Amino acid sequence: MRHGRSEISLSLWKQKEWRGRWLERGISGPKNNTQKLPTNDSKNSTTHDKFLDGLLASGFDESTCLSRYQSHLYRKPSNHKPSPYLISKLRNYEEFHKRCGPNSRAYKIAMQKITTLSSKTHHHQHHHNDNVDAAKCKYLVWTPANGLGNRMISIAAAFLFAVLTDRVLLVRFEADMNGLFCEPFHGSTWILPMNSPFWNHENVETYQSIVLAKVDKARNLTLDQLLLPYVLFINLQHTKEDPEIFFHCDHNQEALKKVIVLIVQSDQYFVPSLFMTPSFSHDMNKMFLEKDAVFHHVGRYLFHPSNEAWGQISKFYDAYLAKADERIGLQIRVFRPTFTPQQAVMDLLLSCATSNKILPEVDTRNPAGTTASNVGRNNHTLKAVVVASLYPEYGENLRSMYLKGPTITGEVIRVYQPSHEEKQKFNDNVHNIKALVDMYLLSLCDVLVTSSLSTFGYVAQGFGGLKPWLLYGLVSNETHFPPCLRDLSPEPCYHFPPQRQCNGNPKEHFATSFPHMFECKDYYRGVKLGDGVVH
């Protein structure tokens, strides 16, 4: 509970806040507070599978997480099917997590064991292999960095790393992450207990320090001969240096098996690095037959909006998007708003949308819609546009433009902007819920336009399995030509991949060395997974 409100009163307060925002824009809000499932024929099709083709497990109390088994009603069936091997790995992991996760007997034993071992080796923190070989449960503790989009893509990567290395994933969620997601694993929790000795990692030895101080100086690129600590911190945050430092190399991964608790802090989608690692690549390729659907599967498996967030998503969809013939998502991220004129961003967006027939132009010669060109026109297709931006002006300007007159195609355009926070807020729970709602609504669209380098957009396109139209960055505040291009994959970009090969030699273009890996369209240094085909 937040702000001293009960769950029910908070829900009612949120509904009033949303209704007030809609009314301010001349839009009528939902008629009542009763949540109804979609009723149009496409959503009731028997082709829909609430278990997402076996991706999700059964057995959950559906009332505690409505989105888990209702989300399929709000989007088209996915063209990407999870492999039988992935499904098998997920079911096995769920049993492992239940056996070793918080509140289990094995977890308590493991925590007592490592506390005892650590106290015995306080002045000499490195252990011998037999201590770890006896550990039945090992852990990967994810710690947050940067905004919600960064957090979600890095959690997805951390989860796969945990699956590959037989570790239990525990996430360190602070107050700003409370109430966003349902528990993904049946019969257990993925939340790191607040009384855990690993909540604070300030005094934990780091992977980077060991590699740099003990490996490079010895002119030996492996950790094999070192006695590693029981607990180790790995920083995989973005930096122009090389934060990864041989993390993708088998010899170091073999050594990391000796560590009972790995604490990972990352804001990156380092999944491509897992494909680069020889000992992981076989499993990764068997789990993900379609390389452009890794986050699509893992994201839909892990991130189920809480009932509070799902209530906002479903009500908004039912009120404004359900009856549209086509849903268009526009995600506008401005990284330097002080130096970027809003009109320049609008010009870029409209140039992209109109030149690629995503949105029609307004018929300025015929504001009343009565010229010969419109006589007899029967195209009354309704397009609903969802604008996701921190700034209200983009949604308002677009909406005003389409209220001025008919479109040259006769299509009817309705524009909605669920939220506008003015600036990105950190350590703010309400802000994160609004961000999650916006991401999810974008993912329910048929066509998506996103901003370069935005992890917010990456999450939306991954959820929806959508290849977005990617806006180019402005050059001297002028529209690039072409203003956008179709991305090759729904996968997030890994902005800062490894800079060195496992033998220590520099490597500039990892994308050319691995199948199904390409240079990111929005960042030349990044790599992303895909099939290489733009549809």
| H helices present in 83-226, as ranges | 84-100, 105-120, 129-133, 148-164, 207-210
Q: What is the mean pLDDT of residues 213-221?
A: 54
pLDDT-derived band at 40, boundaries 50, 70, 90: very low
pLDDT-derived band at 514, boundaries 50, 70, 90: confident
> In the CATH hierarchy, which top-level class contains the domain 323-487?
alpha beta
Q: List 305's β-bridge partners, or say none.
A: 181
Which is more confident, 120 or 398? 398
The tokens 């029609």 sit on which residue?
Answer: 360
14: left (phi over 0), alpha (psi -120 to 50) or beta: alpha
Which is more confident, 38 or 30? 38
What is the reported pLDDT for 510? 72
Count CB neighbours of 264 within 10 A: 25
pLDDT digits (tens, 9 = 90+) for 218-261: 455 555 556 788 899 999 987 655 556 788 889 889 889 989 99
Distance, in Å, from the CA atom of 31 to the CA atom of 28, rounded to the nearest integer, reads: 8
The number of helices, as runs of H, and strands, as runs of E, in the chain is: 16, 12
Distance, in Å, from the CA atom of 300 to the CA atom of 480, rounded to the nearest integer, reads: 34
CA–CA distances in Å: residue 534 to residues 77, 272, 404, 484, 523: 20, 20, 35, 14, 18
Instruction: Provide the percentage of residues in the chain whose pLDDT is more than 90.
Output: 62
What is the reported pLDDT for 201? 78
- Across the chain, mean pLDDT equals 84
pLDDT-derived band at 209, boundaries 50, 70, 90: confident
pLDDT digits (tens, 9 = 90+) for 308-327: 999 999 999 999 999 999 99
Domain ranges of the chain: 84-302, 323-487
What is the reported pLDDT for 123? 44
* Full-model pTM: 0.87
Q: What is the mean pLDDT of residues 430-451?
A: 96
The angle at the Cα of 497, spanning 492 to 498, to the nearest 5 degrees, equals 160
CA–CA distances in Å: residue 496 to residues 278, 453, 509: 20, 12, 11
pLDDT-derived band at 216, boundaries 50, 70, 90: low
pLDDT digits (tens, 9 = 90+) for 472-484: 987 777 777 899 9
pLDDT-derived band at 263, boundaries 50, 70, 90: very high
Residues 6+ apart with CB under 8 A from 482: 352, 355, 472
Distance, in Å, from the CA atom of 500 to the CA atom of 153, rounded to the nearest integer, reads: 23
